[in-house]
């Protein structure tokens, strides 16, 4: 295939070389003339594994934007979306928070769209720049025309190993509104790698990219807090702690607990976080991340409570589930009971029911509490299998933070965590 790159900087050029190494014809365009000199001299001035070796034998053709658009089957756009220098992390965090600068990217897309208007042929434009959710739809799509087919394909790479990371990725993340766009991208990537191709909406792809990076930052922040504790506690070692954690591949180093729901509970998690918060305060740790974790649990509970109040209004509210996790009768640390206790202060008609803790038959419970045939707001507080078969009253709402209740006629299922459809 003929692949174009509009932007041949520290991301674009290594990826272009990687694509060329797999047998594709590559065209390149950049507004910076010094980049052309690097290609001409077959040497870059930054460290990038394999790049100089591939440059020695490259046949990347540097062309005008007009020619690149005309000749390319797919056009990659690795144009930067920079932050101000003050946000790059080499000084204390500024008090203000700002979005990325999209001016360069928007300008690049406008230039490509202008050339496409001349060619009058639809082309796949793949944006790989990091953006916040909603940016493509809000800023990029208005800069396109009927010949521009947009896909969003951010990479999970690290500078210095860009080529290896691109050719052997954990996943290929691709967002699009158009199935034909996704298929074309998938077919192209199958010529490069067998890595999983994860297709989703544009907004999900935008979010996943930044969540991926911030999740890594969260891991680092957490373990650095433990590092500080270990430095202050006699006979402890951060390397011993992390060595033990890395062996825990069932719950720690896995996809366990990476599903949105109610929050943690049981006899260990809330109390252990509180105890660790106490320990951090006692030893004057610079930042009490354990306090932040408990505060998030509290704030999330209050947010769920507000959702319940919004959807129940004048309806009775019934929380389904008391136990802290599915198919058990243990109530210790239960997030659903926490939610019930939060709402009791503000909601008169509120009930909670759980078959696992010895509560009576559901139909009898409904009858006894005069809820039969009433429009109810149900909230699924525990993911019990029994709740899949409940006969919800017609005209009711079901708030489901686990997104496992099946759709049914006459009942509105609200899947918490599923954004509004555009």
pLDDT on residue 421: 61
369 Cβ contact list (under 8 Å, min separation 6) = 351
Residue 301 CA to residue 285 CA, distance in Å, equals: 27
pLDDT on residue 125: 98
pLDDT on residue 91: 83
CATH 3.40.50.720 domain locations along the chain: 2-200, 299-415
Say if strands 350-353 and 74-77 run parallel, antiparallel, or are unpaired: unpaired
Q: Which fold has domain 299-415?
A: Rossmann fold (3.40.50)
What is the CATH number assigned to the segment(s) 2-200? 3.40.50.720
389 Cβ contact list (under 8 Å, min separation 6) = none
pLDDT on residue 360: 86
pLDDT tens per residue across all 422 residues of the chain: 999 999 999 999 999 999 999 999 999 999 998 888 888 899 998 899 999 999 999 999 999 999 999 999 999 999 999 988 888 888 888 888 899 999 999 999 999 999 999 999 999 999 999 999 999 999 999 999 999 999 999 999 998 999 999 999 999 999 999 999 999 999 999 999 999 999 999 999 999 999 999 999 999 999 999 999 999 999 999 999 999 999 999 999 999 998 999 989 998 888 999 999 999 999 999 999 999 999 999 999 999 999 999 999 999 999 999 999 999 999 999 999 999 999 999 999 999 999 999 998 999 999 999 999 999 999 999 999 999 999 999 999 999 999 999 999 999 999 999 986 65
Residue 362 CA to residue 368 CA, distance in Å, equals: 10
pLDDT on residue 367: 93
Q: What are phi and psi of 286, to 5 degrees?
A: -60, -35
DSSP state of 168: S
- Give the end-to-end CA distance of the chain in Å, rounded to a whole number: 34
Q: What are phi and psi of 232, to 5 degrees?
A: -100, -20
Dihedral sign for Cα 193, 197, 203, 206, please: negative
pTM value? 0.89
pLDDT on residue 341: 96
* Residue 239: closest CA among 11, 178, 409, 247: 247
Q: What is the 3-state secondary structure (H, E, C) of 216-272?
A: HHHHHHHHHHHHHHHHHCCCCCHHHHHHHHHHCCCCCCCCCCCCCCCCCCCCCHHHH
DSSP annotation string for 91-118: SPPPS-------HHHHHHHHHHHHHHHH
pLDDT on residue 395: 96
Structure tokens at 256: 């366990």
């Amino acid at each position: 295939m003929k692949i174009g790159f509009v932007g041949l900087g520290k991301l674009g050029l290594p990826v272009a070389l990687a694509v060329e190494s797999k047998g594709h014809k590559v065209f390149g365009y950049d507004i910076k003339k010094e980049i052309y000199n690097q290609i001409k001299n077959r040497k870059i001035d930054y460290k990038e594994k394999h790049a100089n070796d591939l440059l020695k034998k490259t046949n990347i053709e540097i062309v005008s934007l007009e020619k690149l658009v005309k000749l390319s089957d797919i056009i990659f756009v690795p144009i930067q979306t920079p932050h101000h220098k003050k946000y790059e992390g080499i000084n204390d965090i500024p008090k203000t928070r700002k979005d990325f600068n999209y001016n360069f990217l928007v300008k690049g897309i406008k230039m490509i769209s202008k050339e496409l208007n001349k060619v009058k042929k639809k082309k796949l434009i793949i944006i790989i720049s990091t953006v916040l959710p909603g940016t493509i739809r809000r800023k990029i799509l208005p800069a396109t025309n009927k010949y521009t087919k947009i896909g969003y394909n951010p990479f999970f790479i690290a500078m210095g190993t860009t080529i290896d990371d691109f050719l052997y990725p954990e996943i290929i993340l691709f967002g699009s509104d158009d199935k034909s766009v996704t298929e074309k991208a998938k077919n192209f990537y199958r010529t490069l790698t067998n890595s999983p191709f994860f297709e989703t909406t544009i907004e999900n792809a935008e979010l996943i990219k930044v969540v991926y990076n911030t999740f890594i930052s969260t891991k680092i922040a957490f373990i650095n807090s433990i590092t500080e504790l270990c430095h202050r506690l006699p006979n402890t070692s951060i390397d011993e702690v992390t060595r033990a954690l890395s062996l825990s591949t069932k719950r720690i180093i896995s996809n366990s607990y990476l599903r949105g729901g109610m929050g943690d509970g049981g006899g260990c998690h809330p109390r252990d976080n509180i105890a660790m918060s106490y320990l951090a305060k006692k030893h004057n740790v610079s930042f009490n991340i354990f306090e932040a974790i408990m505060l998030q649990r509290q704030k999330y509970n209050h947010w769920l409570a507000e959702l319940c109040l919004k959807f129940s209004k004048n309806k009775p509210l019934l929380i389904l589930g008391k136990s802290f996790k599915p198919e058990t009768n243990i109530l210790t640390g239960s997030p659903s009971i926490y939610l019930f206790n939060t709402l009791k202060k503000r909601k008169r008609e509120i009930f909670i029911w759980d078959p696992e803790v010895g509560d009576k038959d559901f139909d009898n419970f409904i009858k006894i509490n005069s809820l039969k045939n009433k429009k109810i707001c149900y909230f699924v507080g525990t993911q019990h299998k029994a709740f899949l078969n409940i006969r919800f009253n017609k005209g009711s709402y079901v708030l489901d933070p686990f997104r496992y209740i099946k759709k049914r006629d006459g009942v509105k299922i609200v899947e918490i965590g599923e954004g509004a459809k555009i």
